[in-house]
Amino acid sequence: IKGYQIPGVTERIIVNMYADDTTIYLTRDDCYSDLEEILQTWCNASGAKFNLGKTEILPIGTAEHRQRVIQTRKLNEKDNPWQDQIRIAQDGNPIRSLGAWIGNNVEHATSWEPVLEKIEKNFKRWELGHPSIAGKKHIVQMVAGGMTQFLAKAQGMPKSIENAITKQIRDFIWNEKRTPPISNRRLERPIAE
């Protein structure tokens, strides 16, 4: 496996491993069948097993190359087609890699949709306990802050997403009242004030 040579980096990038996630970088000259053979040897030696159902392939390169990979389900003519349970990400459909959402022709806002849904679901669940304003402050920090921090750092947060999260917070704090009794700026001050 050749992997990628990145200008200014002394070693080729072939594999990136973190916890139980593995990302492999193949060039158009590499063969997925060679990777399968290497992985099978590793699995036999370690007792581990790769979950093909969670395997995703993100073709990179020209639009023509990406489309050819999607249609033929292989990197090049000498390779074997990939198994059906392996998902190939088409343009516009991001995949998750090490906590960030990546893909070709992907709108960054699309990557945030699952996060917005999780925040909304958590706020609704917490609302059932009728928390005080001080309790809601902690819940907002834990839920909205905790669920957005990594992704915002990894790939930034579009203004539209920032506005959507701000609205979710306002609705949670004020029980979806149309006109909040005080401004967000005042609400962000210490509780004693």
Domain presence at residue 193? no
* pLDDT for the residue numbered 124: 95
| Six token digits for residue 37 | 């053979």
Confidence of residue 142 (pLDDT cuts 50, 70, 90): very high
What are the residues whose beta carbons fall under 8 Å from the beta carbon of 12, sequence distance 6 or more? Answer: 2, 3, 4, 5, 6
Its pTM stands at: 0.63
Can you name the residues that pair with 87 across neighbouring β-strands?
56
Q: Structural domain of residue 112, as residue ranges?
A: 108-188
| Six token digits for residue 84 | 């059906």
Q: Yes or no: say if 22 and 29 are a contact pair by the CB < 8 Å rule.
A: no
Distance of CA 156 to the CA centre of its chain: 12
What are the residues whose beta carbons fall under 8 Å from the beta carbon of 29, sequence distance 6 or more? Answer: 2, 76
Angle formed at CA 79 by CA 77 and CA 81, multiple of 5 degrees = 100
Domain presence at residue 38? yes
Domain presence at residue 142? yes
How far is 8 from 147, CA to CA, in rounded Å?
Answer: 34
Has residue 105 got a pLDDT over 90? no
Percent residues over pLDDT 90 in the chain: 32
Question: Into how many domains does the chain fold?
Answer: 2
